[in-house]
Structure 1
Amino acid sequence: MTAHQHQGQSPSSAADQDARGVVIIGGGQAGLQAAASLRSEGFTGQVTIVAEEPGLPYQRPPLSKDYLKARPTDGTDGSGSTSASPLPLRGEAFFADHAITLRTGTAAVAVDRSSKTVSLADGTVLAYDSLIFATGARNRELPTPGIELPGIHGLRTLEDAEQLGRALDSAKNVVVVGAGFIGLEVATAALARGCQVTVLEFAPRPMGRALTPLLGDWFAGAHRHLGIDLRLNEGIASFEAGDDGRVAFAVSTTGDRYPADLVVAGVGVQPNDQLAAEAGLETANGIVVDAHLRTTDPDVFAVGDCANFPSVHFGGPFRLESVQNATDQARHVAGVILGADAPYADLPWFWSTQGPFRLQMANIVRADDETAVVGDPDPAHPKFSVFCFRDGILAAVESVNQPSDHLSARKILAAGLEITREEALSEGFSLREAYKERTQPAAVV
């Protein structure tokens, strides 16, 4: 068995082209779920996952949360390992038990749709009947003078998180560029490690693409209440080095200079759709797919962060970066490969943990949603939800430290139950009780 092959089969050769099945490019949440769902739904052909990173695929969400907040262990190996390591998505035995071939540490470099083969960087050629792109996304690069200076970090992989975690051990002044989910998760983690933290955000409010303006403004005040120096309407212009050649200052678009012995760039991601484009598939902010998640080639699919799909909840083409979307789309594609014909319509939901704030969202909000706050939004001990209405009907719910509201909202919205604005804002209303009332059988009199 080779170092990067985690299933008990002989190394690949040209003979692999005689044994077709499903090839999955990408070893993240979407790729692993697609393979697991194919097997659980009864698929008996070959299933192969190609993962560029070495080692077992792992959970990414903890990288910007618990993993960074954990201080180094006191071990003597000098590795700087932390006490909260990301968990593998599946243990090694899972792949052998389910006859799934996992090829790690090598990238897919070409797809030939005419011969239905995938070529890998190590020279392997894999044949497929169905191909799934689960290639995820990569960090958007900052075209900023000084971006190459030591001390400036991105965060996408376990290696990135390990480097950043070690850097936080000695950092005093941290500048985070970008007030999205990742940026604010890193900012609160750095604050918990005792750093002075400045966040630069070019937009007028944090998490502006994902949250209602009401909740975005609340988070701006809440993070400042924690002690983060959040600068809105202020982007990054350049980075300056100190006498040691490392980053020492971040210069913003206002000309202000902020001390920075560590910088984290969190300005969003771009879909990994280059390989699909080179194979002649349609791409536009991701790999374009139909309602069944098929690309312009009926034998090729795309799921997760790399897929631009027609969202029934957004009302048009949409690319969604969330674990829920990745896993739900993967399950759906497995069903389509096995003959299911329903379009993808799962309700989107998201979460982010930023210090003491547990943010959870059910459905995609829109800028023109009518909003109302229910609960206590005091930043010292918040516990509230933002109800979003369209045409007087509950359409989305944002919750802060209110998990019961979030779970009930997901059930209500996924079931298509209608809650009017008047009912939702009436005294004593409860999402949980409303769901029970509408789904429990009527009592027999």
Structure 2
Amino acid sequence: MINSSSNTEDIHLNDKTNTSLDLAMADKTFKYVIVGGGVAAGYAAREFAKQGLNAGELAIISKEAVAPYERPALSKAYLFPESPARLPGFHVCVGSGGERLLPEWYKEKGIELILSTEIVEANLSAKTLKSASGAIFKYQILIIATGSTAIRLSDFGVQGADAKNIFYLREIVDADQLVEAIKTKKNGKVVVVGGGYIGLELGAALRMNNFDVSMVYPEPWCMPRLFTPAIAAFYEGYYAKKGVTIIKGTVAVGFTVDANGEVKEVKLKDGRVLEADIVVVGVGGRPLTNLFKGQVEEEKGGIKTDGFFKTSVPDVYAVGDVATFPLKLYSELRRVEHVDHSRKSAEQAVKAIKASEAGKAVEEYDYLPYFYSRSFDLSWQFYGDNVGNAVLFGDSSPESATHKFGSYWIKDGKVVGAFLEGGSPEENKAIAKVASVQPSVENADLLIQEGISFASKV
């Protein structure tokens, strides 16, 4: 679990001690360069250190000012009203139960952390990267770990979308700005635009901060890419019980701004107008592939790779959100946006790189899709594929004291996906096994009756 204890040390200052100025790095050459400083970069660095690395061989170039950290903390414990998570408490790799990699760790391993440095040009044939200040970085092997960027309402020309106090959450800078707004607009009104991961987690966090929260999304239920209507009904009912107002089937089409440039109202397509001191937008992300357009093969919105995360360009790998890779379990290419895949794909790419150098081989990436979320006192996990017919089991009443229920997805007579709210570690392992093994099932009613015990027997 993420360490959210009172590590209040200001990492924004501390990391600067390990930051090299752009100009000092001009025309510097590295054996390996990771472009992007998110979760994937941190886990790749740890794997490089594990596999064997000489000082000065690896550089991580990040436009953020801090060493790689566990991004999911930003929409969860970072915003808690009591004992909030702060860096250095959630640097990678604590999110998966590993050692926390502080800025000093990179220095000890001879890894150059080049922070506050945005790469604006990549020449894959020349093996060079150019920063915003004109510094040139040369490499032998490149790992693209640029992740995603938040889709903004201003991209669609929404009126007033550039107002102050309209927030997106992707980086720690965004989270810090939101924390300041929470302090400034104490006990005010918040409108959350979007009913996906970010919307649900931030809606809960802001309600815990005693804000009057309204959530607005166009779909007929929340988390439509994963949840069935029956699963969503529980969360919508639970949020309503916690005092969150849910408004479905409409979108924000404009914002009213006051004389200070701050948002005051959210105009909805259905004609309603909502008062707002803070607006948080979570309407999805876009993989950051622009630097490599026309230089590397793309598919399904990402950079196409093989089972070792090699791209179509020799010595160039792509991991995490930007990679479209062969999902062995389902024999198809997919792009997966989730921290679990970011961690594991980064490790796989480094293992493949080091094995290739040693004239050895590694197994192709064999990934079981996994998603999870935590909000209020709720916690769910999902494994596998949410295709076919879904059956619901357990007690899914929002009024329930246990919040324990789940769902199985059945396709072609096999269980291909499993979801569980309120499961124990053992039960979560059991549903993961079900999704991986894909046991046959003849009677869907039996699944409903047996519930989690079905998974425990597989």
The farther-off stretch of 309-318 and 234-243 is 309-318
Partner of 2:418: 397
Distance, in Å, in 1 between the alignment partners of 2:129 and 2:304 is: 19
Describe the superposition over 1:7-47 as per-residue Cα deviations: whole angstroms up to 9, x where unpaired: 9xx95343x33xx4111111111111112112212355811
Q: Is the 8 A contact 1:4 1:105 kept in 2?
A: no
Residue 175 of structure 2 aligns with an amino acid whose one-letter code is: A
Q: Is the 8 A contact 2:192 2:215 kept in 1?
A: yes
- Specify whether residues 262 and 6 from structure 1 end up closer, same or farther in structure 2 by C-alpha distance, changes over 3 A only: closer
Partner of 1:407: 429
Q: Is the 8 A contact 2:391 2:447 kept in 1?
A: no
- Specify whether residues 299 and 104 from structure 1 end up closer, same or farther in structure 2 by C-alpha distance, changes over 3 A only: same
Distance, in Å, in 1 between the alignment partners of 2:58 and 2:193 is: 40
Partner of 2:25: 12
1:417 Cα deviation from its structure 2 partner: 5.6
1:269 Cα deviation from its structure 2 partner: 0.6
Question: Out of 236, 245, 260, which is 2:276 matched to?
Answer: 260
Q: Is the 8 A contact 1:110 1:279 kept in 2?
A: no
Q: Is the 8 A contact 2:54 2:110 kept in 1?
A: no
1:285 Cα deviation from its structure 2 partner: 1.3
Report the 3-state secondary structure (helix = DSSP H, G, I; strand = E; otherwise coil) of the residue aligned with 2:293. helix
Q: Are residue 301 (structure 1) and residue 317 (structure 2) matched?
A: yes
Distance, in Å, in 1 between the alignment partners of 2:450 and 2:265 is: 52
1:141 Cα deviation from its structure 2 partner: 1.2
TM-score calculated relative to the size of structure 2:
0.84
Partner of 1:119: 130
Partner of 1:42: 52
- Specify whether residues 325 and 194 from structure 1 end up closer, same or farther in structure 2 by C-alpha distance, changes over 3 A only: same
Residue 409 of structure 1 aligns with an amino acid whose one-letter code is: I
Q: Are residue 201 (structure 1) and residue 217 (structure 2) matched?
A: yes
- Specify whether residues 431 and 48 from structure 1 end up closer, same or farther in structure 2 by C-alpha distance, changes over 3 A only: farther
Q: Which runs of 5+ in 1 are unaligned?
A: 72-81, 436-445
Residue 41 of structure 2 aligns with an amino acid whose one-letter code is: G
Residue 265 of structure 1 aligns with an amino acid whose one-letter code is: V
Percent pairwise identity: 28
Partner of 1:85: 86
Q: Are residue 371 (structure 1) and residue 387 (structure 2) matched?
A: no
1:161 Cα deviation from its structure 2 partner: 0.9
- Specify whether residues 433 and 405 from structure 1 end up closer, same or farther in structure 2 by C-alpha distance, changes over 3 A only: closer
Partner of 2:144: 133
Q: Is the 8 A contact 1:4 1:54 kept in 2?
A: no
1:413 Cα deviation from its structure 2 partner: 3.2
Describe the superposition over 1:131-183 as per-residue Cα deviations: whole angstroms up to 9, x where unpaired: 11000000101121010112211111111111112212324111010011101
Q: Is the 8 A contact 2:418 2:435 kept in 1?
A: no
Question: Out of 175, 187, 191, which is 1:161 matched to?
Answer: 175
Distance, in Å, in 2 between the alignment partners of 1:132 and 1:145 is: 39
Distance, in Å, in 2 between the alignment partners of 1:245 and 1:375 is: 49
The farther-off stretch of 196-205 and 423-432 is 423-432
Residue 159 of structure 1 aligns with an amino acid whose one-letter code is: V
Residue 376 of structure 1 aligns with an amino acid whose one-letter code is: D
Report the 3-state secondary structure (helix = DSSP H, G, I; strand = E; otherwise coil) of the residue aligned with 1:430. helix
Q: Is the 8 A contact 1:313 1:363 kept in 2?
A: no
Q: Are residue 346 (structure 1) and residue 364 (structure 2) matched?
A: no
Question: Out of 290, 295, 299, which is 1:274 matched to?
Answer: 290
Distance, in Å, in 2 between the alignment partners of 1:3 and 1:156 is: 21
TM-score calculated relative to the size of structure 1:
0.86
1:396 Cα deviation from its structure 2 partner: 1.1
Partner of 2:409: 388
Q: Is the 8 A contact 1:248 1:259 kept in 2?
A: yes
- Specify whether residues 168 and 421 from structure 1 end up closer, same or farther in structure 2 by C-alpha distance, changes over 3 A only: farther
Q: Are residue 239 (structure 1) and residue 255 (structure 2) matched?
A: yes
1:4 Cα deviation from its structure 2 partner: 6.9
Partner of 1:31: 41
Q: Which runs of 5+ in 2 are unaligned?
A: 1-14, 93-100
Q: Is the 8 A contact 1:4 1:103 kept in 2?
A: no
Distance, in Å, in 2 between the alignment partners of 1:84 and 1:350 is: 21
Distance, in Å, in 1 between the alignment partners of 2:39 and 2:108 is: 19
Question: Out of 365, 368, 379, which is 1:358 matched to?
Answer: 379
Question: Out of 179, 182, 185, which is 2:195 matched to?
Answer: 179
Distance, in Å, in 2 between the alignment partners of 1:316 and 1:418 is: 20
Q: Is the 8 A contact 1:405 1:431 kept in 2?
A: no
Q: Is the 8 A contact 1:70 1:84 kept in 2?
A: no
Q: Are residue 285 (structure 1) and residue 301 (structure 2) matched?
A: yes
Distance, in Å, in 2 between the alignment partners of 1:228 and 1:315 is: 41
Partner of 1:438: none
Describe the superposition over 1:205-226 as per-residue Cα deviations: whole angstroms up to 9, x where unpaired: 1111122343233322332232
The farther-off stretch of 30-39 and 399-408 is 399-408
Q: Is the 8 A contact 2:296 2:311 kept in 1?
A: no
- Specify whether residues 224 and 429 from structure 1 end up closer, same or farther in structure 2 by C-alpha distance, changes over 3 A only: closer
Q: Is the 8 A contact 1:5 1:102 kept in 2?
A: yes
Describe the superposition over 1:107-141 as per-residue Cα deviations: whole angstroms up to 9, x where unpaired: 22222222222223344322222211000000101
Report the 3-state secondary structure (helix = DSSP H, G, I; strand = E; otherwise coil) of the residue aligned with 1:135. coil
1:313 Cα deviation from its structure 2 partner: 4.4
Question: Out of 181, 206, 211, which is 2:227 matched to?
Answer: 211
Q: Is the 8 A contact 1:386 1:397 kept in 2?
A: yes
Q: Is the 8 A contact 2:18 2:107 kept in 1?
A: no
- Specify whether residues 212 and 421 from structure 1 end up closer, same or farther in structure 2 by C-alpha distance, changes over 3 A only: farther
